[in-house]
Structure 1
C-alpha cells in the first residue's frame, strides 16, 4: 500500500501513524493554570531530545475547536510543566485522565491522584508516578492550525524525582521495577517487561 498523506483525511493518516510508530512512551503531563487549577493529561507523541542540555518534548494537538487544550494553554501561561512516567499500576488512572474534563476542574481530583509540590517549577507532580521530570519551557512550536493541529513543546529538565523502589544496579532505573507502559495503535497498550539485548558493532 502506498499513498500521499495529502490524499487522505488527517484522521485517517493519524490512525496509520499510531499503528506504525509503536510502542510510544507516554508523557503524563501535569500543569497548573494562572488561576491555580491543576491538570494532568497523557500524550504519546513524546520523547527525549538530548542530555546536553537535558531536554524532552511532547506534542499536544489542538482540541476540536482548533484551540489549545488545557495542558498547552497552562504551559503558555506559566512556562513550566512536569512529565510523569506511567507504570502499569497507573494505566487505568492515566487513561481516565484523558477524559474531557471542564477547565475549572482538576483531573487530580477526578482520577484520585496525589498532587505533590515540585521543587523548581509551579506545576505539581503526580505523587504515584515512579519518575517525574520537572521542566521549564524551552520552546513551543505551532506546526498546524485548526482542529487536531500539531504543536511541539520542548522542555528543559531542571529536576528529576525517581522512586527508590525502581532504582536497581549502578543506581539506574530497573526496567522491570519501573514496569512502564507504551501506547500501540487504537486502544492497545503494551508493557516494557519483554526485552532483548544486542551488542553494538565494534563493542
Structure 2
C-alpha cells in the first residue's frame, strides 16, 4: 500500500518529473537527483546512510501564500514528516530574526 493510499491524499501528476506530488498541498517542489553521497564517520569509515541532494526543477505555490512575491510559511500551516515510522510535526512558535546581508 502506498503512502497516498494510507493517508487518503491525492497523487497529482508532476509537470516535469515522473513521480506524483501531493494534490492537497499548497506548495510542492519537483526535484531531480543531482548527487548521492554515502556518509562517513569522523574517522572516514563509511556508514550505511546516504545523503541525497536534488535540484528543484519546478515549484508549485498557491498564489494566496505569496506576499509581495515571498512565500509566507506561517500562512501555509505546514506539517513536517519526521524520521520515525509515523512521526509528523506542526510548526509552533513563529519569531523573526534579522539576518546579515549576503
Q: TM-score, normalised to structure 2's length?
A: 0.71
CA distance in 1, matches of 2:3, 2:34: 25
Tell me the distance in 2 between the aligned counterparts of 1:131 and 1:153: 21
* CA apart distance, 1:179: 1.4
Residue 31 of structure 2 aligns to a residue in which SS? strand
Which residue matches 2:7? 111
- Pairing 1:112-131 to 2, within 5 Å after superposition: 112-131=8-27
Runs of 4+ in 1 over 4 A off after TM superposition: none
The structure with more strand, counted as a fraction of residues? 2
> Aligned equivalents of 1:183 and 1:125: distance in 2?
15
1:163 shift after superposition: 1.6
Q: Of Structure 1 and Structure 2, which has the larger fraction of its residues in helix? A: 1
**Closer, same or farther in 2 for the Cα pair 1:188/1:121, shift >3 Å?**
closer
Q: Which runs of 5+ in 1 are unaligned?
A: 1-104
The 2-side partners of 1:199 and 1:106 are apart by 41
Q: Which has the higher contact order (CA 8 A, sep 6+)?
A: 1
Normalised by the length of structure 1, the TM-score is 0.39
Match 1:195 to one of 72, 94, 97? 94
Q: Is structure 2 residue 75 aligned with structure 1 residue 177?
A: yes
The answer on whether the counterparts of 1:183 and 1:190 sit within 8 Å (CA) in structure 2 is no
Cα RMSD of the aligned pairs, angstroms, is: 2.7
Q: What is the CA distance between 1:154 and its match in structure 2?
A: 0.5
Point out where structure 2 has 5 or more consecutive residues left out of the alignment: 40-45
**Alpha-carbon distance between aligned partners in 2 of 1:178 and 1:138, rounded to the nearest angstrom:** 28
* Pairs aligned (count): 92
2:18 match: secondary structure: coil
